[in-house]
Amino acid sequence: MNALVRLWRRLPGTARAGVILLGVFILCAIIGPEVTPYDPSAIGAPPLRPPSGNNLLGTTATGGDVLSQLLVGIRLTMELAFWVGVIATALSVLVGVTAAFLGGIWDEVLSLLCNVFLVIPALPLLIVLLGYLPSKGQLPTIVVLSALGWPWGARVIRAQTLTIRSRDFIAAARETGERSWRIIVFDIIPNIVSLIAASFVNTVLYAIGASVALAFIGLTSTTTWSLGTMLYWAQSANALQGGQWWWFVPPGLAVALIGTALVLLNTGIDELSNPRLRDARTVTKLSGRRVWPTDPTPVLGADFGRRGLAGLARSFSRRSLIDEAAAATGGDA
């Protein structure tokens, strides 16, 4: 618990916003389907009503409740993205670490496999594959998305494992007779945790984008309520042209907000694992401009308050320092 609190304190503000936003959506996904006011597939309410007390987000053309569909949709979309993230990340760790650790012919073969999958354009292939699968439910989509989503992470993880493998502590572990799997699990994996986390977040992001796009084209099941399916129905009923924004905007906004939360979270992971990213932000925030090791020690206060466009333009000139010194000493510095 203490470690979590410390981690939270180290996160930059934008990443905290991302975590909170994502938390809200995860909560929606968990309890949402239990608290829907209506059955999402139910029809018969007055169609195309704007938001009101009865239907908080209005109704669709067939009289379905938009809020109920949205809550179930968030669950289905997040569920799919989560499993794709887990499977694809597990695959990329497996392939990346194995390739880098074993080296030699294994590395060659796995890297080749990785590059081949990287070159395959995902969306067109998904369209072709899903067009021919007999069932179009969640499971085939998860399998196909995972199968195409792992090589990005695998490449990065392989590169990082390669540099870690050549460090002294790995050599020391090997000298003391540790088994290979022990070195991998206890020495290498802990050192690439942030990379694995980033790759997980990226894969989830990709899965959400791809699944929503596929559903929108109408290639996944149109009878279950995912966010993409909602958009598909809204679009095929010309909701936007008809001015029924309450049908079209909520699912799109939900996808956009989940995506933003994930990107913000990823920048946070980036800053945690790369101290330079973090320090640069803090220093500039304090002094209002970039501070160099060769600069005189900045006098706090003199540099405060120069923000905005003028501050940006000014920070690009080295004169700003001299000017400030001159102002402080009365003009004869």
Partner 1 sequence: MSKFPGTLQPAAYKAIAAMLGVGHQGSLWHQYVTYLGDVIHFNFGTDVTQYPASVSTVLGASVWWTLMLVGVSTVIAFILGTGLGILAGWRAGGWLDRSLPGLMFLQAIPYFFLALLVVEVFAITLGWFPSAGGYDGSSVSPGWNWAFISNALDYSFLPALTIVATSVAGWMLQMRNVMVTTVGEDYVVAAQAKGLSDRRVIFTYAARNALLPQLQGFGLALGFVVSGALVMEIVFSYPGIGLLLVNAVNSTDYPLMQAIFLLITFAVLIANLVIDLVLVVFDPRVRAREAR
The contact set with partner 1 (CB under 8 A) reads 14, 17, 118-121, 123-125, 127-128, 131, 205, 209, 212-213, 216-217, 231, 235, 240-241, 248, 252, 255-260, 262-264, 267, 270, 274, 276-277, 280-285, 289-290, 292-294, 307-309, 311-312, 315-318
| Rounded-to-integer distance, Cα 333 and Cα 331, Å | 6
**In whole angstroms, how close is the CB of 319 to partner 1 at the nearest point?**
10
Q: How many CA atoms within 13 Å lie on the side-chain side of 186?
A: 9
Q: Which long-range contacts (CB under 8 A, 24 or more apart) does 88-92 make?
A: 88/145, 88/146, 88/149, 88/150, 88/153, 88/203, 88/207, 89/150, 89/153, 89/196, 89/199, 89/200, 89/203, 91/146, 91/150, 91/154, 92/150, 92/151, 92/152, 92/153, 92/154, 92/157, 92/199, 92/203
Nearest residue to 56 (alpha-carbon basis) of 48, 67, 42? 67
Q: How far is the CB of 102 from partner 1 (least distance, A)?
A: 22
Nearer to partner 1, 166 or 176 (CB): 166
Q: How far is the CB of 44 from partner 1 (least distance, A)?
A: 28
Ramachandran quadrant class, 288 (left: phi over 0; alpha: psi -120 to 50; beta: rest): left
Q: 184 vs 205, which CB is nearer to partner 1? A: 205
Residues 333 and 329: their CA atoms lie apart, in Å, by: 7
In contact, 233 and 60? CB cutoff 8 Å: yes
Tell me whether residue 189 or residue 240 sits nearer to partner 1 (CB atom): 240
Q: Is the CB of 17 or the CB of 56 nearer to partner 1?
A: 17
Q: Which residues have C-beta within 8 Å of that of residue 156, sequence separation ≥ 6?
A: 96, 195, 199
Instruction: Please give the DSSP secondary-structure letter assigned to residue 65.
Output: B
Which CB atom, from 62 or from 267, has the smaller least distance to partner 1?
267
Helix (H, G, I), strand (E, B) or coil at 59: strand
By C-beta, is 185 or 325 nearer to partner 1?
325
CB of 267 to partner 1, least distance (A): 7
> Shortest gap between Cβ of 239 and partner 1 (angstroms)?
10
CB of 38 to partner 1, least distance (A): 25
